[in-house]
Amino acid sequence: MTVRVGVIGAGIMGADHANTLHRMVSGAEVSLIADIDPGRAQDVAGKIPGSRATGDALELIDDDAVDAVLIASHDSTHRELALAAVRAGKPVLCEKPLAPTLAECVEVVATELAAAARVPFISLGFMRRFDPGYVEMKQALGRGAIGTPLLTHSISRGVGSAPGATSESSVTGSAIHEFDVLPWLLDSSITEVSWHAPKPTAAAGGFQDPQLILLRTADGALSTVEVFLNARYGYDIRCEVVGESGTVALTEPAKMITHGHRARSVGYAAGWRPRFADAYRIELQAWIDAVGAGTRSPLASALDGLVANAVAEAVIASMHRSGTVVAVEVPTI
């Protein structure tokens, strides 16, 4: 009953997932690793006994030694590979985004639907749904700990943006996590958005960073989202939900406190991997458990990925229209 996983993409994300599956997930085995750079695939496979490397992702998907597929390759490949996995009838965990454009997302979701599997094939890698802090908040909301939610405040700060980052990629690559996790938390879809520009940091070198986004959900709640890729001081994710009788918020996680140099301090993670290591591990375990049992995946679905993309398109439209309020339009399928 061990699930043999083929991992596509041997970059930081793919190597991390392969390693986590191999070392910390029960019931999983990494059997095959693909990368367009076969040497990079081999580097990862070389550290995972029993796994092989290939340069051909489509070959991996069809390999008999692969029960399930994990897509962590370049965003531009997600659509094609997800479709191939659906055609092969294999469960697939696709890193966000499902596809670069909304139209492509629609194609993938429609294809999956047509394949008419008992359980959906595709899971989306929105790992925050498995972060213990977010999970605890959702449970608190569910038991009415703060009454009806009225507004939320989210902050996503990072140390530095990747080369080639743009004002738009801040939305599709980073803010998109908020577009998935906030509706999931509030159990209500995002209906309209607006985008606002603080003073840009010189460190961004030209694109708009930080950004402020307002989101309205169907329940009437309003959410503020700050995304700041070049905040420099650390990787800092915050979320507070304000309800009628109180609020719940993520703590800034830390295991150790240091007293030194006239200060009491706790360190920040340098990036998303240490911050969300638990979330990724728990997400992968949940996926493997569902694949192994043939049950519905508790991860975000392809449709969730499509919806997040629709919100991102609306936010970018607002960006291009001086911050006007833009309604989110989710295509019918």
Q: Please give the residues from 72 up to 131 whose contact with a second copy meets the rule CB under 8 A.
A: none
- The nearest distance, CB 104 to a second copy, in angstroms, is 33
Cis bond upstream, residue 210 (ω within 30): yes
The CB-of-34 to a second copy minimum distance in angstroms stands at: 22
Segment interacting with a second copy (CB under 8 A) among 52-60, 78-86, 93-101, 190-198 = 190-198
5 binds a second copy (CB under 8 A): no
Residue 288, classed as helix, strand or coil, is: helix
Q: Which residues from 278-307 bind a second copy, rule CB under 8 A?
A: 285, 289
Q: Are 180 and 328 in contact (CB under 8 A)?
A: no
Q: Contacting a second copy (CB under 8 A), which of 47, 87, 232, 321?
A: 232
For residue 208, the minimal CB distance to a second copy (Å) is: 11
Regarding 26 and contact with a second copy (CB under 8 A), the answer is yes
Q: Respond yes or no on whether the N-terminal peptide bond of residue 149 is cis (omega within 30° of 0).
A: no
Minimum CB separation of residue 82 from a second copy in Å reads 26
Pick from 210, 237, 315, 316: which binds a second copy (CB under 8 A)?
210
Q: Binder to a second copy among 25, 66, 106, 213 (CB under 8 A)?
A: 25
Check the CA dihedral 170-176-177-183 and report its sign.
Answer: positive
| Nearest approach, Cβ of residue 91 and a second copy (Å) | 19
What count of other Cβ atoms lies within 10 Å of the Cβ of residue 278?
15
Question: Chain-centre distance of CA 103, in angstroms?
Answer: 20
Site for a second copy in 143-182 (CB under 8 A): 145-146, 148-151, 153
Q: Residue 34: beta bridge partners?
A: 8, 54
Distance in angstroms (rounded) separating the CA atoms of residues 221 and 190: 9
**β-strand 149-157 against 222-228: which pairing, if any?**
parallel
